[in-house]
Structure 1
Amino acid sequence: MATHHLTIQKYEFLIRPQSDFSIPSFLGATLRGGFGYAFRDVTCALKRQECASCLLREHCAYVYVFETKPPEGASMMRLYPTIPHPFVFEPPDGLPNTTCAAGTLLSIGLLLIGRAIDLLPYFICAFRRLGQKGLSRQRVLFDLVEVRGIGPCGAQTVIYDDRMQRLSSFTDSHLFDLAQPVNTDCREVALALDSPLRLKDQGTLTDAIPFRALIANLLRRASALAHFHCGAGLGGLDFAGLVRQAGQVVTRESRLKWKDLERFSTRQRQTMKLGGVVGSIVYEGHLGPFMGILRFGEVAHAGKGTSFGLGKYRIVENPGRTEDSCESSRSQ
C-alpha cells in the first residue's frame, strides 16, 4: 500500500580535532567535499572503476547517496540529471572563521532521509575515515567520539561511541504526512534563516523570498524526496492550488540580506558561488494550509545546496494574537 509519509532521522556527530582547526567560512562545503571521498573509500568495491561504467552502480551506496540520479523509467524528474540527495549536513552555527582548539568537541548534524537511514553505519565509517585522512586543506585529523540520535522532541540517544565500537538501534524518526491537513487558524508566522537560503523565483535567484516561491520549492522538494527515497506519494496534495493560495500570503516584514559563500569544486576545478539570503522574514495571511509543509522544511531545509547545510530555517511564533494558534500546529 502506498504511504504518504516522509521519514527523516536526525543525528549529531561529535568529533574531536587532534590539532587546532581554523574553521572555514563555509564548513558545510568542506564537510561535503571531503566526506564524499571518504564515503567512496569505505563503500566502493572496485575503486579504480569509473562510476558511470561500473557494473555495480545500480547497487552501490556511494552512487545512491552522492551520484543521485532518477532511476530508469522514473515517473517524475526523468529529464533531470540529478535528484535531491537523501542526506543533509548541518554544520554548527556561529563558528565560521574561528579557531577550534585541539581536543575541543565539535558537533556536526546529519539528516538521513528514507532508504538512506539504513546506510547510517556507512556514514559512521566514512566519518571515521575522514578523520584519518584529514579535514579541509589543513588536513586536520580528528576522532569520531560519539553519535547521537535526535528525536522529534529533541531527546538525544547515544547510538555509537568510540569506546564501545558498536551501533545501537535508533527508530525515533521525524514523520511527515503532508496529505494530512493541519488544524490551525494561524495568520502570521516568522522564519529565521540560520544558513543562506538559495531560492529561485521564475528561474532566477531571489533575495526577496516570496511566500509563493518558498511553498513551491518545498512542495517540489518534499515530492521528490518522498517519491525517490521514501517510496511515498503525495497524491493527496493539490500542488497547483496550494501554490495559487500561497500567492495570497504577503510579506509583512523583511530583514533579509544576501550573504556570499564560495566553495572550490575539486571535480570542476573552479570556485563556485553559493550565496543566499539570511536574516528573518514575517508572512501574514491564511497560513493554516501551509504549516505542515513549513514544518517539513524546518527539518529538511529549503532551496538549493541543502546537502551542504544551506536553507536551514526556524519557524518563530510571533507574540500577540497569533502565538497560540501557530503553536497549535506544532503539536499536531
Structure 2
Amino acid sequence: MEQKISFDIPYIRLRFRSEILADTGMPAAKTAALRGGMGEMLLRQNCVMDRKCEDCQFSKACVVGHTFYSYMEKKPAYVTGPESVGYLIECTDNRTKFRRGSCFVFDLVLFGESIVFFNIYLQAFCQLGMTGLGREKARFHIKEVRNTQGELVVKENEVDMSHYRVGKISDYIRDRRKELLGGDGEWWLTFTTPLSMKYQQEYMSCFYSEALVKGAARRVQMLDFYMGTEAAVPELPHYPDIVGQTAAWETVKRYSATKDMHMTLRGIVGAVSFRDMPEECLDYLIAGELTHIGRNTSFGFGKYTISREGKEHRGHE
C-alpha cells in the first residue's frame, strides 16, 4: 500500500579536494566525466561476469548495481530502466587547463543505502586519479575529503569515519525553511546546471511552476522507493505564480564508454521568480536543492538554489 512521501531520507555531502599531478587538459563538463570515469573504475574493480549484466547470476549482490546504479526492489511506474538515484556528483569548475600542483574540487552527495558504500566510491575515485580523467588522461591525487562541517573524513591515505556525519533531508528542509521564511519579497529559483524536464509531454524551453514542484516531489518519491517505502506523489491544490523568468538552452557533451559513442545532453539554465510560495510546495522545492530534479541528474543536471534576494536577477525578466 502506498504511503505519503517521507523526507526522513538519510544523506551526506562530501567535498573532495584533488591535486593535479602534471600539466594537463581536462573536460569543461567535469561532472559527466567524473561520473563516467567512476563507473568504469567500479566495473574494473568489481565486475565478476565480464560486464555481461543480462546473464549475471549475482545481480542482487552486484557492487556496481548498488553504487553506480541504485538497486530497488520496486520502482515508481515512470522508472523504466536502471537509475542512479543514490548519489550525485557536483563540480562547478569549468577550467580546461591545469598546471601541476593546482587543485580542483568536487562534491559527492550520497542518499539512502548508498551511504554505506562510501569506501567503494572513494576507491573508485582514487583509481580514476591514477588512471586519468578525460581525453588527456589527467591524473590527480585526492588530498582530502571533508564533511559539510569542514571536518576531515579523509586526509591523504587515512580515513576517519568518526567524522562521517549522516543527516536527513527533513533536517535540511527544517534549517532552510528558517532561512527562507525569515526573508521577504519574491521567491527565486536559480538553475546553475541545465534542467532537462518534460511538461505536457514536451521538453521545457521555459519554466513552469507545476512541473518544477512535481519534479521535486518525484525525486523524493524515488528516494523513498530506494529506501523501501512505496510513497505516492500528492495532488497539490496550488502552485506558485511565476512573475518573471529567463531561460536559455545549454548543452553538455560527454563520451559514453558503455555505448562507445559521443553524446550531447541538453537543458535550460536561468532563473524564475514567484510572487508567492504555497506552504505545501515549499518543502519539495527545498528538498530539490539537495536532490536535483529532472533527467540526467547523475550527470549534474537539475541543480538549483532558492533565495528571497531577487534584486540581482531583475535584469533577467
Structure 1 counterpart SS, 2:158: coil
Contact 1:192 1:279 in 2 (8 A): yes
State the distance in 2 between where 1:251 and 1:140 align. Answer: 44
State the distance in 1 between where 2:123 and 2:139 align. Answer: 15
Structure-to-structure mapping, 1:228-267, within 5 angstroms = 228=226, 230-232=227-229, 234=231, 239-240=234-235, 242=236, 244-246=237-239, 249-267=240-258
* TM-score, length-scaled by structure 2: 0.85
Which residue, out of 147, 154, 160, partners 1:160?
A: 154
> Structure 1 156/128 Cα, relative in aligned 2: closer, same or farther at 3 Å?
same
State the distance in 2 between where 1:79 and 1:100 align. Answer: 39
Which residue, out of 19, 22, 45, partners 1:16?
A: 19
Residue-pair matches, total: 302
Contact 1:257 1:278 in 2 (8 A): yes
Give the structure 1 partner of residue 208 of structure 2: 210
Structure-to-structure mapping, 1:132-151, within 5 angstroms = 132-150=130-148
Give the structure 1 partner of residue 124 of structure 2: 126
State the distance in 2 between where 1:319 and 1:278 align. Answer: 16
State the one-letter code of the partner of 1:128: C
State the one-letter code of the partner of 1:23: M
Contact 2:7 2:220 in 1 (8 A): no
Structure 2 counterpart SS, 1:62: helix
State the one-letter code of the partner of 2:294: G
Give the structure 2 partner of residue 307 of structure 1: 298
Contact 1:22 1:99 in 2 (8 A): yes
Contact 1:8 1:113 in 2 (8 A): yes
RMSD of aligned Cα (Å):
2.7
State the one-letter code of the partner of 2:76: M
* TM-score, length-scaled by structure 1: 0.82
Structure 2 counterpart SS, 1:112: strand
Q: Which runs of 5+ in 1 are unaligned?
A: 321-332
Give the structure 1 partner of residue 269 of structure 2: 278
Once the two structures are TM-superposed, the CA of residue 313 in structure 1 deviates from its matched residue by 0.7
Contact 2:34 2:133 in 1 (8 A): yes
Which residue, out of 285, 295, 298, partners 2:286?
A: 295
Give the structure 2 partner of residue 170 of structure 1: 164
> Structure 1 251/79 Cα, relative in aligned 2: closer, same or farther at 3 Å?
closer
Deviates more, 1:271-280 or 1:107-116: 271-280
Once the two structures are TM-superposed, the CA of residue 310 in structure 1 deviates from its matched residue by 1.1
Give the structure 2 partner of residue 329 of structure 1: none
Give the structure 2 partner of residue 37 of structure 1: 40
> Structure 1 100/38 Cα, relative in aligned 2: closer, same or farther at 3 Å?
same
State the one-letter code of the partner of 1:245: H
Contact 2:247 2:271 in 1 (8 A): yes
State the one-letter code of the partner of 1:239: P
Contact 2:20 2:99 in 1 (8 A): yes
Give the structure 1 partner of residue 104 of structure 2: 106
Give the structure 2 partner of residue 325 of structure 1: none
Contact 1:255 1:280 in 2 (8 A): yes
1:89-136 deviation per Cα after TM superposition (whole angstroms, max 9, x unaligned): 001x2x325312211121111110100000001011111111111111
Contact 1:4 1:178 in 2 (8 A): no
Q: Which runs of 5+ in 2 are unaligned?
A: 312-317
Percent identical: 23
